[in-house]
Amino acid sequence: MKRRHILVSSVASALSGWAGAQMGAPVRILVGAPAGGSTDTLARTLAASMSPALGRTVIVENRPGAGGNIAADAVAKAGPDGNTLLMSFTSHAINATLYPSLPFDPVKDFTALTAVATSPSILVAHPSVPATHIRDLIALAKARPGELNFAIGSVGSSLHMAGEAFKMQSGVNIVNIPYRGTAPAVQDVLAGQVQLMFAAVGNVQAHIQAGKLKALGVTTAQRLPAFPDVQAIAEVLPGYESSAWFGLFGPARMSPELTRKISDAARQAIRQPEMQKRLETEGAIPVGNSPKEFSAFVQAEIKRWAQVVRFSGAKPE
């Protein structure tokens, strides 16, 4: 009993030291994407909500580049003290296959803390495209192989891979037109320069409502409440599903106690009204699962996307 008491006291002392002695040193959440994007804004809202629960200031530091790998590498090499965290996204799993080699292991070099949210996407078309449903589009693409185009905002992104998974399962030949960012890709679909695009719901919802884009299918397993008349692609291609996700990681070798403390603070933050409002604005769905559940999810995602990446033949930019 005495030994157990000493152990419990040591853990309590360590956590107290982490929260108290380091009040002057903020916890940093590194984001591998530019300021102003979905990952950045979600990270900043999460950081503000986590600070009271942790008793520490939490700040966001942007380190964009290499599909999120620059920020991930910095966190993988950080000490397991919980002072440096990573807000990552679907590319964390895609990059495991997309890049021939990485300076870190996407599973072993990280402590999974919690999935923050998922973000469904939607397949949209310029109104001139003579298809109103997924079956129509597949029939059109098979009748005109190589004539239809997908606009993709970033090679290797979740939206790029959503299109590759669609082609792989439907057997159609649709040509990719890469852009440097989502905004110019959306603009060219609006202008009719490119016919099709997988886009985050938040980026195209207003255009769909205005009749400037046509919604053909959603990437979730079931239809979305916001688009009850738009079929899930899985209704035509069984098993099809593709949603972007955002998740919080720490470096490997964090203690179970510290892992639980930070994960609990993040999950509590996800339930806050301000965070819920931000997620709704971004067209995202809150998650907030346990470290064990999130770790299993990431490993399954790496395996799932590996097949699609290989099919695509995509190379990192």
Domain ranges of the chain: 2-119+244-312, 120-235
pLDDT mean over 273-289: 89
Calpha distance 60→75 (Å, rounded)? 13
Supply the pLDDT for residue 8.
Answer: 46
- Band of pLDDT at residue 15, cut at 50, 70 and 90: low
Confidence at 19, pLDDT banded by 50, 70, 90: low
Q: Would you say 123 and 198 are in contact if contact means Cβ atoms under 8 Å apart? A: yes
Evaluate whether the domain defined by 2-119+244-312 bears CATH number 3.40.190.150. yes
Cut 0.85: pTM above it: yes
Identify the pLDDT of residue 112: 98
Quote the CA–CA distance of 4 and 219 in Å, as a whole number: 50
Pairing of strands 58-62, 27-31: parallel
Closest by Cα among 250, 282, 251 to 266: 250
In 49-127, beta strands by DSSP E: 58-62, 84-89, 110-125
**Confidence band of 36 (pLDDT split at 50, 70, 90):** confident
Residue that is written with structure tokens 């380091």 in the block: 22
Q: How far apart are CA 31 and CA 174, in angstroms?
A: 32
What pLDDT, on the 0 to 100 scale, is given for residue 305?
Answer: 96
Query: By percentage, how much of the chain surpasses pLDDT 90?
Result: 83
pLDDT beyond 70 at 6: no
Mean pLDDT, range 2-30, rounded to an integer: 60
Q: Does domain 120-235 have CATH number 3.40.50.720?
A: no
pLDDT band per the 50, 70, 90 thresholds, residue 5 = low
CA neighbours closer than 13 Å in the CB half-sphere of residue 105: 7
- The tokens of 214 are what? 């046509």
| Same fold: 2-119+244-312 with 120-235 | yes
Question: Residues in the chain, how many?
Answer: 317
Instruction: Give me the mean pLDDT over the 95-121 stretch.
Output: 96
**HSE-up of residue 250 (Cα within 13 Å, Cβ side):** 23
Helix (H) or strand (E) holding 294: helix 291-312
State the average pLDDT over residues 50-54.
94
* pLDDT tier for residue 259 given thresholds of 50, 70 and 90: very high
